[in-house]
Structure 1
């Protein structure tokens, strides 16, 4: 590599690299958020929570989306944490 050329990738534009970084950060945040939400959930048995953790780990993008759409149940009135 010639001196002074830096670390710029000549094949992939910088905008694409930035979009990939943002997408990976979003997916990582979704993954971690789903794991925290599963751990805090009181609506599932330990076995059910373990199955959700396995689903989220096996499907790193689809698993968290499924958890947030179907796995979470709204808290009932009178339970701690409900308004």
Structure 2
């Protein structure tokens, strides 16, 4: 009989894999970085499987340009 800890561990691992895959897809679709920046972020995400995706979503992903300058947002 599997222990309850194994089930919890499976959920945590699945969430980590989902976060990793989502970050890699987000990096690949991001048009704000050059190919060099994309490679660096991809390597960071792969080298740091937990911290890398978190860093990408917190500081790496740049918001899309809304078409307005800062002066037009008054």
* Same fold at TM > 0.5: yes
TM score, norm. by length of structure 2: 0.86
Tell me, in whole angstroms, the C-alpha distance in 2 between the residues paired with 1:43 and 1:18: 39
Show CA shifts across 1:32-71 (max 9, x none). Answer: 0000000000010000000000000000000000000000
Q: Does 1:16 align with 2:5?
A: yes
Q: How many residues align?
A: 67
Bigger helix fraction: 2
Unaligned stretches of 5+ residues in structure 1: 1-7, 79-83
Shift of 1:77: 1.1
Unaligned stretches of 5+ residues in structure 2: 68-74
Cα RMSD, aligned residues only? 0.9
